[in-house]
């Protein structure tokens, strides 16, 4: 019985809206934008978290990456032709971190150089990553061919290298890859394996790059030493860096941030300059949460105000409609409609009106995040549930703001209503 009443009143509500298209549209504008803002809000939040998660997945949420960094003071003072800079992480830093307790599962030292690699007459600039076998545990990438570095490689100062897929393709062009000897700075290395290429991170220091060559760090030190010389635009730069990166794997998500703090405190104590940078991927999630919160406040306020204004607008138009249709209400009551049936009728009409605004709002809501992404580059993802949720909110607005007009309609004295002109 109630269902039939609902369906019937729904139909009448839709009819009424189609009868007054412009009026209905204007009335529901607040709800339209309110609903749109709710969806946009959730889309920005979802986009930020998904983006952060995707980034973190590249690195591993339990990892901390400490990077050597030339500090700014050092950079600006160097106007002379030749500079020697000594900075970065020390072997002792790694040792100290390793000894910080059971929360540290392992550490991986990384030394970086840029060198040309040659095979026959092919030449390619590589990032040569001197590291240990543990790298491949902390930066797990699919093994395309062969193997990764082994502990024995480090022990024997083996002249082996692992290439990334992209590097291998460019340098070797598909010719018998494994076992091929490549020349890196006049030193021969045997290609023992190929791993999937890294893609790099946007907001995060991802350890691997697209064109990397991984060699044992012991071999690297033996062949190239700690000093890196480099000629750039006429000036001669010499760098002495022990470690460019230390990758730290922490035992458990909840320990990542406290341990990052502890490591940073330790580094601060031992370094006179801030020549390192902490990268805590998990902190990205926190950053995403912050972005989300900011947007929630802004868009949430817009949504709240729009919905409130929209609700009041709808209530206003429904009150006008009740007045306009006083006689109709009188007739319905005279025929035998109970007060509850009049309330139901007006409530549903209000909900249909608000819900139609909600439908338009859902469209607007799918558009706003697209515009945000387009103009600010912020990633947005419209979650499916947000469409239903915000539509539900619009109907609920109709319900809440429809109560007063509906009760007013039901309270009318049938005789007075019938006499109404």
Partner 1 sequence: MTGAGQPGFAGAVIRLEDMAKTYRIGEVDVHALRRVSLTIERGGFWAILGPSGSGKSTLMNLIGCLDRPTSGRYWLDGANVEDLEDDELSAYRLRHLGFVFQSFNLIPQLTVRENIELPMYYRGTPPAESVKRAEHLAELVGLSDRLAHRPVELSGGQCQRVAIARALANDPPVILADEPTGNLDSRTGEQIMEMLCGLHREGRTLILVTHESRVAGYAEKRLWLKDGAVERIEGGAA
Enumerate binding residues for partner 1 (CB under 8 A). Answer: 1, 4-5, 8, 12, 15-16, 19, 327-328, 330-341, 414-415, 418
C-beta of 406: minimal distance to partner 1 in Å?
A: 16
According to DSSP, residue 272 is labeled S
Are 357 and 13 within 8 A, CB to CB?
Answer: no
C-beta of 38: minimal distance to partner 1 in Å?
A: 33
Of 12 and 100, nearer to partner 1 (C-beta) is 12
3-state secondary structure of 279: strand
Kindly compute the dihedral angle of the four CA atoms of residues 398, 401, 403, 409, in this order, to the nearest 10 degrees.
-100
Hey, what are 22's tokens?
Answer: 């412009």
List, in order, residues 6 or more apart from 80 with CB less than 8 Å away. Answer: 235
C-beta of 30: minimal distance to partner 1 in Å?
A: 25
C-beta of 408: minimal distance to partner 1 in Å?
A: 16
Of 123 and 419, nearer to partner 1 (C-beta) is 419
Hey, what are 112's tokens?
Answer: 């970086």
Hey, what are 102's tokens?
Answer: 């059971």
Of 258 and 340, nearer to partner 1 (C-beta) is 340
C-beta of 17: minimal distance to partner 1 in Å?
A: 12
C-beta of 18: minimal distance to partner 1 in Å?
A: 11
List, in order, residues 6 or more apart from 168 with CB less than 8 Å away. Answer: 144, 177, 191, 194
Q: Which residue has the tokens 């406290």?
A: 258
Summarize the chain as % helix, strand, coil (round to 5): 55, 20, 20
Of 275 and 349, nearer to partner 1 (C-beta) is 349
**Is the backbone of residue 186 left (phi > 0), alpha (psi -120 to 50) or beta?**
left
* Separation between Cα atoms, residue 141 and residue 335, nearest integer Å: 77
Closest CA relative to residue 40, chosen from 376, 285, 324, 383: 383
According to DSSP, residue 103 is labeled T
C-beta of 28: minimal distance to partner 1 in Å?
A: 20
C-beta of 385: minimal distance to partner 1 in Å?
A: 35
Of 69 and 341, nearer to partner 1 (C-beta) is 341
Are 212 and 127 within 8 A, CB to CB?
Answer: yes
* Separation between Cα atoms, residue 190 and residue 122, nearest integer Å: 16
C-beta of 398: minimal distance to partner 1 in Å?
A: 19
Of 3 and 269, nearer to partner 1 (C-beta) is 3
C-beta of 298: minimal distance to partner 1 in Å?
A: 42
Of 244 and 333, nearer to partner 1 (C-beta) is 333
Of 31 and 410, nearer to partner 1 (C-beta) is 410
Are 170 and 184 within 8 A, CB to CB?
Answer: no
Give the helix ranges, DSSP H, for 271-338. Answer: 281-324, 326-335
Of 153 and 349, nearer to partner 1 (C-beta) is 349
Helix and strand element counts for the chain (H, E):
15, 13
Phi, psi angles (nearest 5°) of residue 208: -100, 155
Of 121 and 421, nearer to partner 1 (C-beta) is 421
Are 22 and 29 within 8 A, CB to CB?
Answer: no
């Amino acid at each position: 019985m109630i269902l039939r009443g609902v369906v019937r009143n729904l139909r009448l509500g839709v009819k009424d809206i189609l009868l007054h298209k412009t009026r209905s549209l204007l009335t529901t504008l607040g709800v339209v934008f309110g609903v749109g803002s709710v969806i946009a809000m959730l889309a920005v939040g979802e986009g930020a978290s998904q983006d952060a998660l995707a980034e973190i997945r590249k690195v591993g949420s339990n990892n901390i990456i400490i990077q050597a960094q030339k500090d700014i003071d050092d950079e600006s003072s160097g106007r002379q032709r030749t500079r020697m800079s000594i900075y970065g992480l020390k072997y002792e830093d790694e040792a100290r971190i390793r000894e910080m307790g059971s929360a540290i599962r392992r550490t991986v030292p990384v030394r970086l150089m840029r060198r040309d690699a040659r095979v026959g007459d092919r030449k390619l600039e590589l990032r040569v990553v001197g590291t240990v076998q543990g790298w491949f545990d902390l930066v797990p990438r699919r093994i395309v061919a062969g193997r990764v570095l082994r502990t024995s490689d480090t022990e024997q100062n083996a002249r082996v290298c692992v290439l990334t897929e992209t590097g291998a393709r460019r340098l070797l062009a598909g010719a018998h890859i494994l076992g091929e000897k490549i020349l890196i700075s006049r030193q021969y290395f045997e290609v023992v394996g190929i791993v999937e290429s890294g893609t790099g991170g946007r907001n995060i220091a991802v350890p691997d790059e697209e064109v990397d060559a991984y060699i044992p760090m012991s071999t690297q030190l033996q062949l190239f030493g700690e000093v890196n010389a480099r000629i750039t635009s006429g000036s001669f730069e010499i760098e002495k860096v022990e470690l460019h990166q230390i990758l730290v794997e922490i035992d458990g998500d909840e320990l990542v941030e406290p341990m990052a703090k502890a490591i940073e405190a330790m580094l601060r104590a031992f370094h006179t300059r801030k020549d390192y940078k902490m990268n805590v991927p998990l902190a990205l999630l926190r950053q995403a949460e912050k972005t989300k919160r900011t947007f929630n406040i802004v868009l949430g306020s817009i949504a709240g105000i729009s919905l409130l204004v929209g609700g009041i607008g709808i209530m206003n138009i429904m009150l006008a409609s009740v007045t306009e249709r006083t006689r109709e209400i009188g007739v319905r009551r005279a025929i035998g409609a109970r007060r509850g049936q009049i309330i139901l009728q007006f409530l549903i009409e209000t909900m249909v009106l608000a819900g139609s605004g909600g439908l338009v709002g859902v469209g607007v809501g799918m558009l706003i995040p697209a515009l945000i992404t387009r103009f600010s580059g912020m990633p947005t993802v419209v979650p499916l549930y947000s469409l239903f949720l915000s539509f539900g909110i619009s109907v609920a607005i109709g319900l809440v703001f429809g109560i007063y007009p509906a009760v007013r309609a039901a309270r009318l004295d049938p005789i007075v209503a019938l006499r109404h002109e």
